[in-house]
Amino acid sequence: QLTQVQFMRKIFMFCLTGALALATTSCKDEKVTTMQTITVNGQICEVKSAFYVEEKADEQWETSYDLILFRPFTMSDYGVDIEVSESLIGKTIDLTEPVTQTGPLRPYLSVGAIGETEFDIVHSFERITVSNGDDISSATVSYGMLTVTRDGDNFSVKLSVKLSDGKSIFADWTGKATKVTIPE
């Protein structure tokens, strides 16, 4: 199951990159009132684009929202990808502990770094898996807290993650994300 999820995330990222390139070239100039940043492994960048995909519930998984925060579009993507189940929205989540199923469907939580030092932390089936690209890593989550709130297309993210191998992600972002629909 995890391999299939990772494969679907890769396909999603390729589709999203194309959508981002198109949106970046055709967007209107809008006044930006605050500068908000993400930090991955010590590299700080301003968030200029935010997209999300709503993943509908199926017979096993809850509805979730995959939120991607990007720096200004360049040839090398850089950003943070957070997928969080609807039941976890508005809660402060300790990323060192697996999320547990409290309803009839399983919750899903994934936090990832997009770019040169790509890695993912996936909470599924009440366990935590850290991967480095396509390979499972021996790293563990040393510290991690996440809070995501949502009101329509408006999201707020407070994220702090440190892995045992020294990698890290930090985000304190609030703003409107553009909904993207991926054809099935």
| Per-residue model confidence (pLDDT) at position 11 | 46
| Per-residue model confidence (pLDDT) at position 76 | 56
Contacts of 59 (CB under 8 A, 6+ apart): none
pTM of the model: 0.76
> Which tokens in the block code for residue 125?
């089936």
CA atoms of 60 and 17, how far apart (whole Å): 28
Q: Are 173 and 38 contacting, i.e. CB atoms less than 8 angstroms apart?
A: yes
Helix (H) or strand (E) holding 25: helix 2-26
| Per-residue model confidence (pLDDT) at position 22 | 44
| Per-residue model confidence (pLDDT) at position 95 | 92
Helix (H) or strand (E) holding 102: none
Helix (H) or strand (E) holding 24: helix 2-26
Of 66, 78, 44, 41, the closest CA to residue 161 belongs to 41
Type of residue found at 89: I
> Which regions of the chain are under pLDDT 70?
1-35, 72-77, 116, 133-134, 184
| Per-residue model confidence (pLDDT) at position 28 | 42
CA atoms of 73 and 38, how far apart (whole Å): 14
